[in-house]
Amino acid sequence: MILIGLTGSIGMGKSTTSAIFQAAGVPVYDADAAVHRLYAGDAVAPVGALFPEAIINQRIDRAILSRLVLGQQKALRNLEAIVHPLVAADRKHFIECCRTAGAPAALLDIPLLFETGGDRTVDIIVVVSTTLDEQQKRVLARKDMTTEKFMAIKAKQLPDEEKRRRAHFVVDTGRGVEYARRQVDSFLRALRL
């Protein structure tokens, strides 16, 4: 089974590109969705022990947690020390299920693929990219997003140029969904999937 790592900085179009792969029949592991599940399950107790004010109705409130760790390196490292192993275990289970099902390939949608060393665990790296102007426009249109928050998130991500340099394949999402779909289809044909 070929493991494809999909990554890209915030606002580059990972979710759209991931959906294109899924529509083409490739099983997709969404790390952000896994975190959402964990924030309502296994992560609640350990995160609540460190950040009790972030627990609302037995769930981790992402907005509150984000405010608590924004710009606080030690707090962020402590949070990551809890969440990253939980996500890794969840991802391992997904991969095992795909192998058991005989899938020829599986895609791991991991925003911080390079930053967490996940690039060493996949066979092929696909990076999603667009222009800085388009990225900023997309991100600042999100609910509860500020320029300060955008810059803080961007600062902890590997620069787009470096991600593109280290990729095996780059999907340009700046020309619309249909253009991105054609690129993904071409990529999958090249892999004979």
Residue after which a domain boundary falls, among 43, 78, 102: 102
Q: Would you say residue 193 has pLDDT above 90?
A: no
Q: Which residues pair with 153 in a beta bridge?
A: none
Sign of the torsion formed by the C-alpha atoms of 117, 166, 10 and 192:
negative
Q: Would you say residue 25 has pLDDT above 90?
A: yes
Residue 1 lies in a domain: yes
Q: What is the pLDDT of residue 155?
A: 85
Sign of the torsion formed by the C-alpha atoms of 7, 11, 17 and 23:
positive
In tens, the pLDDT along 118-177 reads 899 999 999 999 999 999 999 999 988 989 889 888 888 999 999 999 999 999 999 999
Look up the CATH number of the domain holding residue 134: 3.40.50.300
Residue 137 lies in a domain: yes
Q: What is the pLDDT of residue 108?
A: 97
Residue 191 lies in a domain: no
Helix or strand or coil: residue 152?
Answer: helix
Residue 193 lies in a domain: no
The residues, ordered by sequence, that sit 6+ positions from 141 with a Cβ below 8 Å of its Cβ are: none
Whole-angstrom distance, CA of residue 130 vs CA of residue 170: 10
In tens, the pLDDT along 58-85 reads 999 999 998 899 878 899 999 999 999 9
**pLDDT tier at 86 (50, 70, 90 boundaries)?**
very high
In the chain, what percentage of residues exceed pLDDT 70? 100
Which residue from 163, 161, 159, 136 is spatially nearest to 149, judged by alpha carbons?
A: 136
Query: Do 93 and 134 sit in the same domain of this protein?
Result: no
30: part of which helix (H) or strand (E)?
strand 28-30
Q: What is the pLDDT of residue 60?
A: 96
Which residue from 34, 23, 191 is spatially nearest to 123, judged by alpha carbons?
A: 191
Query: Do 94 and 111 sit in the same domain of this protein?
Result: no
Residue after which a domain boundary falls, among 102, 131, 147: 102
- Please report, for residues 21, 22, 87, the alpha-carbon distance to residue 109 in angstroms, rounded to integers and kept in the order given: 10, 11, 12
Q: Domain span at residue 3?
A: 1-27+104-184
